């Protein structure tokens, strides 16, 4: 939840030599994104999206790097990043399976879909498979109520999903590869 905070004063930030924010990303950020906003702070969401898309999560080191480019206190970056659900502050699997659990989906068969994914992958909601391939989450409304139950696998939306379709959809995602 967005507003649960943790004592982070003692948290050690693990660092690697190679920066997360690559030269190309820096260039896109300063050349293309920054001029769109009146303040540098405005470019924070796109910057975080960039990292999330490339690595599948937003490491603390990346946040420090973003803070450097946007001239913000690192705490402000963490403040924003921790608020939004789409930014993962811990590593997750290569693929994300997001099952919609909102009103239309739940009453059109979502519980069976979640069960099917859990059974197929052998994990609970919120967990990642041992081979780091899949992370299963349940989200609120994906905006596909007319196609309930809906499942978002990485960036592809699947509508009218049946429990029997799950194995095929997951295989498909595995073949397509890639983070987001």
Partner 1 sequence: MDSFVRRRRPGVGLEKRTQSMADRRLFTENMGGRGILTQRIPTKPFGDLKDRHIVGYDEYVKTGGYEGLRKALTIAPDDITESVKKSVLRGRGGAGFPTGVKWTFLPKVEEGQVPGVDGFHRYLAINADESEPGTFKDRLLMDFDPHLMLEGIAICCYACRLDRAYIYIRGEYHHQAHVLEQAIAEAYEHGIFGEKGLINSDANTAGQRFQVDCYVHRGAGAYICGEETGLLESLEGKRGWPRIKPPFPAVKGLFGKPTVINNVETLCHLPSIIENGHEWFCKQGVESTVGGPPSFGTKLIGVSGHVNDPGVFELELGIPLRTLVEEYCGGMRGGKKYKAAIAGGVSMGVLGTDQYEAELDFDIGRKYNVLGLGTACPTVFDEDTDMVAVARNVARFFKHESCGQCTPCREGSGWLYQLLCRIEEGDGKTKDLDLALEVATSMGSMPGTTICGLADGNNWSLRTIMNKFRDEFEDRVERSFVPVKMTVGAAAKD
**Which CB sits closer to partner 1, 37 or 61?**
37
**86/133 with CB nearer partner 1:** 86
In this structure, are residues 47 and 69 in contact, taking their beta carbons and an 8 Å threshold?
Answer: yes
Question: Considering the complex, what minimum distance in angstroms separates the CB of residue 108 from partner 1?
Answer: 7
Q: Compute the least distance from the CB of residue 177 to partner 1, in Å.
A: 16
Shortest distance (Å) from residue 90 CB to partner 1: 16
Is the Cα dihedral 79, 126, 166, 146 positive or negative?
Answer: negative
Least CB distance to partner 1 at residue 48 (A) = 7
Q: What is the DSSP letter of 54?
A: H
Nearer to partner 1, 21 or 142 (CB): 142
Question: Nearer Cβ to partner 1, position 4 or 9?
Answer: 4
* 54 burial via Cβ count (<10 Å: 0-12, 13-18, 19+): middle
Binding site for partner 1 (CB under 8 A): 1-3, 36-39, 41-46, 48-49, 76, 79-80, 83-87, 98, 101-104, 106-108, 139-148, 152, 155-157, 180
13 vs 141 by CB, closer to partner 1: 141
For 42, other C-beta atoms within 10 Å of its C-beta total: 13
From the CB of 173, what's the least distance to partner 1, in Å?
14
47: exposed, middle or buried (C-beta count within 10 Å: 0-12, 13-18, 19+)? Answer: buried
């Amino acid at each position: 939840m967005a507003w649960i905070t943790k004592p982070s004063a003692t948290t050690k930030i693990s660092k690697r030599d190679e920066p997360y924010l690559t030269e190309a990303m820096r260039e896109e950020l300063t050349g293309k994104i920054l001029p769109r906003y009146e303040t540098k702070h405005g470019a924070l969401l796109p910057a975080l999206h960039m990292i999330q898309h490339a690595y599948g999560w937003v490491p603390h080191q990346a946040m420090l790097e973003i803070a450097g480019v946007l001239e913000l206190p690192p705490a402000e970056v963490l403040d924003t990043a921790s608020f939004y659900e789409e930014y993962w502050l811990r590593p997750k699997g290569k693929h994300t399976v997001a099952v919609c659990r909102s009103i239309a989906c739940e009453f059109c068969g979502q519980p069976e879909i979640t069960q099917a994914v859990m059974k197929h992958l052998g994990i609970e909601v919120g967990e990642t498979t041992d081979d780091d391939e899949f992370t299963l989450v349940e989200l609120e409304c994906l905006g596909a109520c007319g196609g309930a139950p809906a499942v978002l696998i990485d960036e592809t939306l699947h509508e009218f999903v049946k429990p029997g379709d799950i194995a095929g959809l997951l295989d498909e995602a595995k073949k397509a590869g890639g983070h987001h």
